[in-house]
Structure 1
Amino acid sequence: MLDYIGENLGQILDGLLFGLGVLAVYLGAVITGAIVRSLGGAGSKGLTAAGRYVRGWFFYLRGDDRDIINVTLNTIVDNRLKFDTLVADRRIWAVWPNAYRQAMIRRAAKRTTRSNPVVSFPKEPPPPKSRLGRLRRRLNDRIHGLVASAEVVENGRAQRVRLMREDDYKACYGPLINLVSEKCSNDNALDLALGRPMDEFRFVVALTFEQLHDRRARHLRAIVVWEETLRNFPDECPDVDVPEHRTRFRTLQSIARQYRAHPERFGVVNIWRPKTAGRMALAAE
């Protein structure tokens, strides 16, 4: 045995070194791949962070950030305009996950003006008069019919029907109503279901894109106002804490005018509060 090992020692060492070399190459490939993947991940995150920084800098210079939304309660108490935050700043993709809906809201915000900061969506365009316009509309209708259709069975017959598109205002205000309800009415809604005497109040939700003064960044703001306050909104500006808050009063005036004319373009939240002893006695009488 010793003689065999002595005669073939060179071959044994060569095989051992070859195996160690293969193992070293394999481990090197694994480690290199891990390093490359780590650098690639860090690089993509770095590019993402840099892109967000540049975009934030751009919006900072323009005083414009249509990616942020918050919800504020507005009221007039003792002839003084007051408002407070109900829902703090959130990114709009956390409120409206649909990217197409986000783009629609951004475009609508861009169309607002100082005199009318309320976000509104365009009406259905009138029928085109040109031949090319009519052809384009027919093609669009055909594409919509293919994409937005479903097969239903009616009277024993299967047929394809076009799905009804959700109203833009309902789709816009639905998530905002959910946010306000989650913050303000969950517990009282349960008490109402259990039979506890409650008073019901309607609060109007209006999506705005106002600018309080020239140097303040603009962003989407959902304004919540008690419906009775809107219906009896004063013509004269009440007292304000700072002069720039007069812009909020003009915004509320615009909301009151438009709500009287088109209440279907706004959201409404029902808030319940326990009846007081005095109110319960009056109700019993």
Structure 2
Amino acid sequence: MNISDSSKLAVSSIKVFVNKGATPNKPTVKALSDKDTYVTGQSQADMKISIKNSAKKVIGSGNTDSKGNFKVKISKQKAGTKLSVTATDLAKRESKAAAVTVLDKTAPDAPKVNEVSDKATTVTGKAEIGSTVTVKHSNKNIGTAKADSKGNFSIKISKKKAGSALYVSAKDKAGNTGIAAKVTVKDKTAPGTPKVNEVNDKATKVTGKAEIGSTVTVKHSNKNIGTAKADGKGNFSIKISKKKAGSALYVSAKDKAGNTGKAAKVTVKKSK
């Protein structure tokens, strides 16, 4: 740069050196999860912060405050997504990128569990792929297995009584455990064969013992000739019309779940 005065008596030369300055430091970024909508962290004051995805596309930008803090809004990202965060100063100098991998903080959905009966020795269903599925009964872990590449699982258990409550939950690889699915064990076990007292050709009732609360039925020649419920001790008494000696009666019990057991065959005796 040359400077001359109006009298042109003297000419001075001044050299101006432009200081390039330092490139901004790489930002420090706080952990980011798949539930977050802001990227936060620390840089230097008066910086422009840019968030880029793996395709180098800017998905969010903002400025640091006077202390270098930043909070940049973004849309939620999938767990495992890799983002880069840079700081650019007023001279358009951009820092090295800070790499951020989105953490998995979303718990798996409750598993879909197939019916479990009191005869079952496995609990099956579908859950998040690769998750660890656990079955609990009375707050105790009674079985665990991993869901396969299609989400299917099969867990061995010991047989449980009808009406028992099982709780089935899934935990993903990141350690997030979802809400448990409650499964009530179904009654698929038929009642035992009733114990029937002797019936003779003068009898007008059939008595005996069967499963408590079951419905006991007497059949003759494939026709229902009487029905009653077994009481709190399992006793039953069923009115019938008199039958000839030698007649065959079939007495069976059906439980509340609709399971019918094997019938007891009773031959009508000749009265003395």
- Normalising by structure 2, we get a TM-score of 0.18
Bigger fraction of residues in helix: 1
Instruction: Give the greater-gyration-radius structure (CA).
Output: 2
Bigger fraction of residues in strand: 2
Q: Which has the higher contact order (CA 8 A, sep 6+)?
A: 1
